Structure 1
Amino acid sequence: MSVVDLTNCRSVIFGCEGTTLSAAEKKFFKAEQPVGFILFSRNVETPKQLKKLVKSLRTAVGRPDAPVLIDQEGGRVQRLRAPHWFEAKSFGHFGDLYQTDPERAIEALRLTARLIAADLREAGITVNCTPCLDLHLPETVDAIGNRAFADNPQVVARLGAVVAEEMLTAGIIPVVKHMPGHGRATIDSHHALPHVGAPHDTLQETDFAPFKTLSVLPWGMTSHIVFDAIDPDHPATQSAAIIKDVIRGEIGFSGLLLTDDLNMEALSGSLAERATAALEAGVDIVLHCSGVLTEMQELAAVCPPLTEEAQARIELGNRVFDHTPDKIDAKADLARLNDLLETDIA
C-alpha cells in the first residue's frame, strides 16, 4: 500500500449525524481533515446505503483510504444487525464454552469473527473496535459484562487473539480495548468516573496481562478509569503515568492509541479540555462519537495535526491492507458455525 500523506490530518476521529452526510458536514470534514470516522446504528439502514455513506465520508476528506471504524463485537455491541448482516453471540458466550470445550469454542469464535469481517469488508469499513480484552470479574459493571470473554487473563488473551487474527486476515484493523483494563470498574464510565483500588502488582498479573500478550496489535483504545495505585488524580485516558509508564512501558504497546468516546461522563470539563488533557497525556488520537456538528467544531479548534509518531503508527497498521484476503464461503461458514453451536450452552 502506498504511503499516504497524513501531515495535515487532525488528531481526531469523528462520527456523523445520520445515514447521509449534510452539506455542512461535508464542508466541515473537508476543511478540518479528521484522521477518520466512526459509525453507529444511527448511521446504518441498508447495505447499499452504508457503502454509499462510507464512500462519501472518504470523499469528503479526499482520502480513499481514510479509516472508517465501527464497534462490531457481537452480543449487545454490534451496529450492523439482521436482516441485512450477520449477528454474533457475545464474547462471554465463547468464554463460557471454552471452559468445557476449548477447541469448539475457538473454532466457533474464528468463524464468527470471519463472518463479521466479511460484512465489514463489503461495506468498506476498515477498522473494528474489537476485541474487548477486559476481564469478566464478579464486580464487573454490566456495561462490560459479557462483552468480556472470561475472568482468566490467559483465556482472554487466547480468545482475543482469535478475533484479532481473523480481522487482520480479512484486512480489517482490530482495536484492543479498554486499555489497561475495565474489568474491575464497578461504575459505568458512560455515566460517572470509576475508581479501581487494586494494587499495582495485582493489576500487572491480571488486568494488564491480556493487553501485554497482544501488545503487537496495531491499534488500542484507552479506558476512562482511575487506577488509584498508579495515578489517583487522572483517568487512564488523561494520565501520562498510565499511558507512558503502563500502556507504553509495562504492557509494551507501541501501536496507535486512541481514547474511548470523549462524550462519556467519566471525563470532566469541556470537550476541548477533555481532548487537550488526553493528547497531552500521550494518546495519539481522540475519539468523538456523537456526530453533533457544534461539538466537532469545538474539538477541531484544539486538536493539532497528527504527530510524526502517530503517522508512523498509522502507516505501520495499514500494512494489513497490503495483501488480498482470501475469499470466504460465508454460507458454508455459517452452516458450520450453527452446527458447532447447536448443542451449545444456554
Structure 2
Amino acid sequence: MIFGCEGLTLSRAEKKFFKAEQPFGFILFARNVEDPKQLRKLVKALRAAVGRPDAPVLIDQEGGRVQRLRAPHWFEAKPFGFFGGMYESDPDRAIEALRLTTRLIAADLQAAGITVNCTPCLDLRLPETVEAIGDRAFAADPQVVARLGAVVAEEMLTAGIIPVIKHMPGHGRATVDSHHELPHVTAARPDLEQTDFAPFTALSLLPWGMTSHILFDEIDPDHPATLSETVITTIIREGIGFDGLLLTDDLNMKALSGSLAERAGAALAAGVDIVLHCSGVLEEMKDVAAACPPLTEKARARIELGNRVFDQAPATIDVTADRARLDELLAGVTA
C-alpha cells in the first residue's frame, strides 16, 4: 500500500501508524507542499517514520493542471497536450522542448528527494475524452503518444526518478470522470488493441504502471480494470506485456464501489501489486491497511527491477541553461 498524509508535517498519530503498518511508500499532494525547505523535511520525515531511507515517495508532477509543485518555488510546465499540438507542426522542436521540460521537473523532484513521478499519461486525447484527462493526454495518435511518452520516461529515468505509465489500459474513451462515477467503454478489444492499448504496449518495459477505474464492457462487463482479474491478466500482463509494478489509481475515487477495505482486497485479488490511497485521512488508512497482506514475491521482484534506476548516479541538470533553451524554443508557440 501507498498512503498520503494530511498536511505539511506528520502528526504523532501518523508517525505511530506508519511505523506500525509499514506502507511501501507515500504520495504527496498540494496540501502537503509549502516551500522547498518544508517539502524536503516532510519527505525525510515520511521515510524516518517507516525506518527506510529508500522508501518511495511519489508525486503527480505532469504539467498543466496536474502539478503539485507550483510557482514561485518550482518550475511550472505546459500540459502534455501542448507538446502534442506542437508535434503536429514541428516534431523535433516539440521533442526537444518536452525533454527540457521534463528535466526541469526532474530537477525539482531531485532537490526534494522525491523518487517516483506518476507520469507520463499515455491515454489518447479523443473528441469524447473527458475533461478530467483532456490536455493531460498528448494526442489522438497512439504512435505520437508513445513517442512523446517515451521522452518523458527516458528523462525521468536518467534523472534517477521512476516514471509511472497511466492509466492502464487506457482512459481516453471515457466520457465521464472516474473521480465521480464509473466510465463504461464499449469498444471491442481488437479496436482497443490498435488504439488505446498501443502506447502502453510500446512502453511496456517501463518499471511502474497505474490502472484506470474504467469498465470495458466487451472484456469484463462486471468489474472496472482496477478490480478485474481479466483486464489485469489478459490485457495488461499478457496482451500489453507489462510485467512491472502495478498500482491502482486512488481507491477513494467514486468509480469504485464498496468499502475501502473491500476495494483494496478486490484490487489485490485481481492482480494489482500495490493499492494507492491518497486522502491522508487516518481512519480510512487504517481500513485499507487491515485489508492489505505483505507484498508478494512477484511484487518484490518487480520492485527490485524498478530500483535498478538507482544503481547509476542521476544526471546532473543545468537548470539555468535548460530553462533558457526552453524559453527560446517556446517563444511565439501557441500550440
TM range (shorter): over 0.9
Aligned to 1:146: 135
Q: 1:165 aligns with which of 154, 169, 175?
A: 154
Query: Using the alignment, how far apart are the partners of 1:230 and 1:300 within structure 2?
Result: 30
Query: Using the alignment, how far apart are the partners of 1:52 and 1:87 within structure 2?
Result: 22
**1:233 corresponds to 2:225:** no
Aligned to 2:41: 52
**1:208 corresponds to 2:200:** no
Aligned to 1:289: 278
- Mind listing any 5+ residue stretches in structure 1 that lack a counterpart? 1-11
Query: Using the alignment, how far apart are the partners of 1:279 and 1:271 within structure 2?
Result: 12
Q: Deviations over 1:96-129 (max 9, x none)?
A: 0000000000000000000001100100000000
| Paired residue type of 1:143 | A
Aligned to 2:10: 21
**1:83 corresponds to 2:72:** yes
Query: Using the alignment, how far apart are the partners of 1:329 and 1:125 within structure 2?
Result: 18
Q: Deviations over 1:167-190 (max 9, x none)?
A: 000000000000000000000000
Query: Using the alignment, how far apart are the partners of 2:206 and 2:5 within structure 1?
Result: 27
Query: When the two structures are superposed, what TM-score results if normalisation uses the length of structure 2?
Result: 1.00
CA contact 2:176–2:183 (8 Å) conserved in 1: yes
| Paired residue type of 1:328 | I
Query: When the two structures are superposed, what TM-score results if normalisation uses the length of structure 1?
Result: 0.96
Q: 1:107 aligns with which of 78, 96, 101?
A: 96
**1:266 corresponds to 2:230:** no
Q: CA deviation at 1:345?
A: 1.9
Aligned to 1:314: 303
| Paired residue type of 1:215 | S
Q: CA deviation at 1:306?
A: 0.3
Query: Using the alignment, how far apart are the partners of 2:99 and 2:22 within structure 1?
Result: 35
Query: Using the alignment, how far apart are the partners of 1:193 and 1:325 within structure 2?
Result: 40
| Paired residue type of 1:318 | N
Query: Using the alignment, how far apart are the partners of 2:290 and 2:262 within structure 1?
Result: 11
Q: CA deviation at 1:326?
A: 2.6
Query: Using the alignment, how far apart are the partners of 1:327 and 1:242 within structure 2?
Result: 39
| Paired residue type of 2:237 | R
Query: Using the alignment, how far apart are the partners of 1:246 and 1:167 within structure 2?
Result: 26
Q: Deviations over 1:227-256 (max 9, x none)?
A: 001001000000000000000000000000
| Paired residue type of 1:44 | V
Q: Deviations over 1:52-82 (max 9, x none)?
A: 0000000000000000000000000000000
**1:176 corresponds to 2:170:** no
Query: Using the alignment, how far apart are the partners of 1:177 and 1:56 within structure 2?
Result: 28
Query: Using the alignment, how far apart are the partners of 2:21 and 2:244 within structure 1?
Result: 24
Query: Using the alignment, how far apart are the partners of 1:20 and 1:66 within structure 2?
Result: 17
Q: CA deviation at 1:343?
A: 2.0
Residue pairs, 1:120-159, within 5 angstroms: 120-159=109-148
CA contact 2:200–2:240 (8 Å) conserved in 1: yes
Query: Using the alignment, how far apart are the partners of 2:109 and 2:232 within structure 1?
Result: 30
| Paired residue type of 1:191 | H
Greater shift in the superposed pair: 317-326 or 36-45 = 317-326
Instruction: Give the number of aligned pairs.
Output: 335
Aligned to 2:174: 185
CA contact 2:168–2:236 (8 Å) conserved in 1: yes
Q: CA RMSD in A?
A: 0.5
| Paired residue type of 1:123 | A
Query: Using the alignment, how far apart are the partners of 1:300 and 1:75 within structure 2?
Result: 33
Query: Using the alignment, how far apart are the partners of 1:134 and 1:22 within structure 2?
Result: 37
| Paired residue type of 1:135 | L
| Paired residue type of 1:211 | F
CA contact 2:160–2:315 (8 Å) conserved in 1: no
Q: Deviations over 1:247-287 (max 9, x none)?
A: 00000000000000000000000000011110000000000
Aligned to 1:3: none
Aligned to 1:300: 289
Percent identity, aligned pairs only, is 79
Query: Using the alignment, how far apart are the partners of 1:188 and 1:82 within structure 2?
Result: 27
| Paired residue type of 2:194 | E
